Amino acid sequence: MTALQGVLPITLTPFTDDGDVDEGSIDTLVEDYLDAGAHGLTILGIMGEAAKLLDDERERVLRRYIDATAGRVPVVAGVSARATRMALEYARRAEDAGAAAVMLAPPDNAKNLDLVFEHFRRVADAVSVPVVVQDEPVNTGVTMPAPFLVRLLDEIEGCRYLKLEETPTLPKISVVRHRATSQVGIFGGLGGLYLYEELLRGADGIMTGFGFPQVLVGTYERFVAGQRKEAQEYFFRYLPLIRYEAQLGVGGVTIRKQVFARRGSISSPHARFPAPPVDELTLAELDDLIAAVGL
């Protein structure tokens, strides 16, 4: 199986203006991501509004993304759930549909790390594809310290990747990279805010939902080609837009959907309630920044 590396955007789940799943826009989104140079896709994540999907909708989104990707890049499917049995079922369905890996966060507000460890072990043992351990304390309410993450990755054979979302990500990358005895792939997130520094710390790439994935791809490819100065300059050129788009409390997925809709990649910027609305001033500032950085 091809190792995961590079830029694997957290994909959107597009809806119509009426709030129904828009499968046609999944097709155009896949082409948009791949035209931007994405090295893989991560579907059904938090920015994909997975928690707002009914089970039958989730299955449709999963299979439509995998069919539209048609094996051109690996697809990682989010399988996080409040109960281990639910996560197990999601993981098995993802593997059956052709996902290259599954991404799993701890159950919400599970403070007992022994139970969290067992949650990951049971899901990893249930499938043959690798598990991406998602460290996302803001949304899950679960803090997984770096030594615990090292234990997960070293002791559970199926847990082969780590996606970090805790601020700051950089110290955790260093600890995991230096202490893990097994081969581990590490990915950053957080909208891309620290991509360059994450790569310097030893990250293998990034999984995030930034509206212009070509910027992340351009930074990554310059970096792995040994052009560190060029990668830094390229990344810093677009950082004001990355910073602005990362206002999750202001707009989050709604801002990103506006960006993709402006490019014609999706038919509607609709995000399912209770997504925070984006006011006209925010959209005007967004358009101004996009123009200012030359996108």
- CA–CA gap between residue 234 and residue 101 (Å, rounded): 30
Residue 103 labeled ligand binder: no
Return the structure tokens found at 115: 């139970």
3-state secondary structure of 32: helix
Return all residues near 9 (Cβ < 8 A) that are at least 6 apart.
33, 36, 38, 41, 42, 207, 208, 209, 210, 213, 216
With CA atoms as reference, report the closest residue to 157 among 106, 203, 207, 123.
123
- Cα 177 to the center of its chain, rounded Å: 20
Contact indicator for 9, 33 with CB cutoff of 8 Å: yes
Helix, strand, coil distribution of the chain in percent, nearest 5:
50, 10, 40
- CA–CA gap between residue 51 and residue 57 (Å, rounded): 11
3-state secondary structure of 205: strand
Q: What is the DSSP letter of 41?
A: E
Contact indicator for 275, 253 with CB cutoff of 8 Å: yes
Residues in the annotated binding site for pyruvate: 207
Residues in the annotated binding site: 207
